[in-house]
Structures are given as C-alpha cells and as structure tokens.
Amino acid sequence: MGRKFFVGGNWKCNGTNEEVKKIISTLNAGDVPSQDVVEVVVSPPFVFLPLTKGSLRPDFHVAAQNCWVKKGGAYTGEISAEMLVNLDIPWVILGHSERRLILGESNEFVGDKVAYALSRGLKVIACVGETLEQRESGSTLEVVAAQTKAIADRVSDWTNVVVAYEPVWAIGTGKVATPAQAQEVHAELRKWLHANISPEVAASTRIIYGGSVNGANCKELAAQADVDGFLVGGASLKPEFIDIIKSAE
Ligand code: PEP
C-alpha cells in the first residue's frame, strides 16, 4: 500500500510577524513536488496560525502545535480543538517531547488528547520517542511501544494519524539518528501496529522521523523503507526546508 510522503515543519516558539511573513514567502516561492507525491504541513505558534493560513500556498497545510485535552472552557492559557476546527486548521501536533518532558504530559494524557482531537475532526501528528538514557539502557522499543499503546487504547480509527518517531537525543542537538537507527525503530513500530492494531493500519499509517533533519541528511533517511517523511524543527525555519520536501522524490 502506498504511503504518501509527509513533511511537517514545527516552528516551535519562534518568529516575529515579519519573520513569519518571510518564511511563508520563501515557502510560497519554493519549487517542490506535487501534492500527489508529498503532503506538506507547517506548524507556526498559535498566534501566527491565521496569518500563516491566510497567506500560505494552498498546496501546503497548517498544523497547531498543541491543543487542550477536552472541550474548551475554564482552562486559562489553553487552545481547544474546537477553536482550531473553527479556524479551519486541519492538523495538530500532539505529544511532542518538549511537552512530555518540560510540561510533564504523560502517555495517557497524550492519548486522551489524540482521541479528543480526532473526535473533533482534526488530523494528528502524534510524537513518540525515547530519551538518551532510555536508549542507552536498551529500552527504546519498550518506551515507544508504551507511548503508542496509550494512543491505541483510546483510538480506533488511525486514518487521520501520522506517527512521528522523534528520539529526544536527536531533537535540536544536531545529532541525527543514522538511517539504520531510524529504520530499525520505524520497522519495529510498524510491527507493533501490525500485531496490536491490524495489518491494514500497519501498512497505511505513515511513520515519520524527526530529530536534526536537514537538507544534507534527508535523502539518505528518506530512502529507508519505513521512513515515510519527516517532522522538522530548526531546519523548517530555513530555506533548506524546501530541499527536505524535495527528498520525497
Ligand atoms: C522537532 O522539534 O520536532 C524537531 C525534530 O526538531 P529539530 O529538527 O530541530 O531537531
């Protein structure tokens, strides 16, 4: 089953109005493969969602970087899934390691968020990944399986889920996973989906890699059988994001 290559750009907590306009104009001028070949989604901070949505080329889509775990209300500082739907934002990133580790989001909380966002009609980039300590102690597969299970326990339809494998030790460190390291975990995650959900979900769910992807290392990673695209942080703020999108070809 063909899985369309997926490239997400996570702008994190970066940018001014002027800088965001500049990034968007670079993206709009980029010569990239068609939507039949690659799905591109960029994720600005909440405050820049309307600007980005309003001025980004129509073949690229927009994601929020988070949303609240249930219906909005008395949750100061939060943004609800309903608000994103109201603004016609199709995607949301959930379970990013910066939220898991800095803000203490548990596997269960992330699973609840994924289930609620999907129930409101959002598509979800669900992030999983191990810390350096967990990798060095040999528990990588156990960690990503537990993170994925917390989602699987709460979600029955995986059509609108993209799984982002993002080893924490590779995020923002310049220390990218080798193609073999990425392929190994992606293949194991796909096996997990096969055994615990269904062969169809395993075959159709995109598993993308994130962690220090750049214009120079993307081709080799993209060539791995189970790497279906990327979630890109730092390099998504730079013109080389276009080169990363081109690695879909
Ligand atoms: C990320 O934060 O999702 C990420 C992959 O960051 P970077 O590409 O900067 O490592």
pLDDT single digits (tens) 119-133: 999 999 999 999 999
pLDDT at site 111: 98
Computed on alpha carbons and rounded to an integer, the radius of gyration of the chain in Å comes to: 17
pLDDT single digits (tens) 33-86: 999 999 999 999 999 999 999 999 999 999 999 999 999 999 999 999 999 999
pLDDT at site 201: 98
Active site residue 166: yes
- Band (pLDDT 50/70/90 cuts) for residue 205 is very high
Alpha carbon of 43 to ligand 1 centroid (Å): 12
* CATH pick for 5-246 out of 3.40.1190.20, 3.20.20.70, 3.30.720.110, 3.40.190.10: 3.20.20.70
CA distance 122 to 160: 8
Active site residue 186: no
Question: Nearest-CA neighbor of 120 among 93, 141, 144, 90?
Answer: 90
Beta carbons within 10 angstroms of residue 103's beta carbon? 10
pLDDT beyond 80 at 200: yes
Q: Are 61 and 40 in contact (CB under 8 A)?
A: yes
The catalytically annotated residue of 39, 105, 130, 166 is 166
Residue 122 Cβ contacting ligand 1 at under 6 Å: no
Domain residue ranges of the chain, discontinuous segments joined by +: 5-246
The catalytically annotated residue of 61, 96, 130, 186 is 96
Q: Are 218 and 245 in contact (CB under 8 A)?
A: no
pLDDT at site 67: 98
CA distance 137 to 140: 8
Residue 115 Cβ contacting ligand 1 at under 6 Å: no
pLDDT beyond 80 at 1: no
| Average pLDDT of the chain, as a whole number | 98
Calculate the alpha carbon distances from 47 to 61, 94, 144, 222 in Å.
Answer: 16, 17, 31, 32
CA distance 220 to 216: 9
